[in-house]
Structure 1
């Protein structure tokens, strides 16, 4: 099972980020993954046409796609382009979560975005998450969010990471479901860490990367090409690859 992840396109009329997204899709044609997960920040500035352009590109692929919103996204516009049935039912009424059972693994997407805020939160969604993890039974799960769940060390970005994480950590540690890993976006850098004792990843961005800056006087340059991740699940084992294209 090959699960591709793309994050943080940030497409807008004044930038070339859709062309950078095309680079990622061109690379994926060689791989032909089983599914593509987009972990938010698809467009900037409520660009309705941008969502349509992304949807048109996804419709040309031979594999299906799953989509989460990020802090720069507009849920109403996303619904207008992809329809209500694209996402799982949310008792809260606003969040765009997803569930996808892909044979021997369950893919869970949790919408961590907060209206008009750059930071994220899992508050109000943990009962739903617990239900999805437990419903998987013996089938392992892979959890996706937009906002990162462990500190990257980049001060300005960690100010807007996901909040209410102590409750989610406790939930994961006591869940009867088997969560193999968590993968997010938001930071615009490929990073690996731990959360609740399991592997956690931050996918690099399609848009230009942020520098690996840790609050020092000097800021290192960042000239990274568009990035994505490939999650390779086979024989009940998961390997996660950071790819530059």
Structure 2
């Protein structure tokens, strides 16, 4: 199974990010993924009409698209366009999602906090643990918008996901852990480990943030559109970062 991941489109009438998205989707046609998951920040500048524009682009694809909100998104406006995509039993009306493919379960967790750039996950942990353990030892991947390990970029780590320690405690006690956790938000591709699990930050469709660790000099940014391909085959997951 091939899962494509896009993140942080930040589409607006005042930028070229819709064209950058089209570039990424054109490349994906050559891969033919089984599903695409978009991990938040679809629009920018409160451009709620942009969700209909994005839906038009996604509806032309030959594979299903799963969508999570980011801190720049509006849940209510998203729900008007993609009503029925998300589960009905998520806490606090969060836009969580689950897709079962038989051997693999894709789980999306809404980590957004209204009117806040940072995320949180504490209130989702009971739902997430139940979803991870329902149906026995099913392989799974968790997707969310906010990153859960420190990227080293001070401005982004100030608005990362709160509750990561509680998440780690929950994951460590599971007998069958997720194969990976994949996020976005930082606008740069990164990888680390979290509670013994590989964890990734998907690069962005929109222009990247600099790899700046807080020093006096800010490195230049020359990154193209970035995305991820997660390939699950015979019980093994391999995750690729792709520059388009």
Moved more, 195-204 or 175-184: 175-184
Tell whether 2:199 aligns with 1:204: no
Which residue pairs with 2:161 in the alignment? 162
Deviation, 1:46, is: 2.1
Which residue pairs with 1:151 in the alignment? 150
The number of aligned residues is 244
Contact between 2:90 and 2:96, CA under 8 Å: does it hold in 1? no
Is the alpha carbon distance of 1:242 and 1:136 closer, same or farther for their aligned partners in structure 2, counting shifts above 3 Å? farther
Which residue pairs with 2:7 in the alignment? 7
The equivalences for 1:50-69 within 5 A come to: 50-69=50-69
Contact between 1:133 and 1:176, CA under 8 Å: does it hold in 2? no
Deviation, 1:111, is: 0.3
Which residue pairs with 1:182 in the alignment? 181
2:214 match: secondary structure: coil
Structure 1 unaligned spans of 5+? none
Contact between 1:123 and 1:164, CA under 8 Å: does it hold in 2? yes
d(CA) in 2 for partners of 1:126, 1:41: 22
TM-score by length of 1: 0.97
Which residue pairs with 1:97 in the alignment? 96
Deviation, 1:91, is: 4.4
d(CA) in 1 for partners of 2:89, 2:15: 34
Contact between 1:106 and 1:136, CA under 8 Å: does it hold in 2? no
**What is the Cα-based RMSD across aligned positions, in Å?**
0.9
Deviation, 1:90, is: 3.2
Contact between 1:6 and 1:39, CA under 8 Å: does it hold in 2? yes
Contact between 2:20 and 2:206, CA under 8 Å: does it hold in 1? yes
d(CA) in 1 for partners of 2:132, 2:108: 11
Deviation, 1:136, is: 4.2
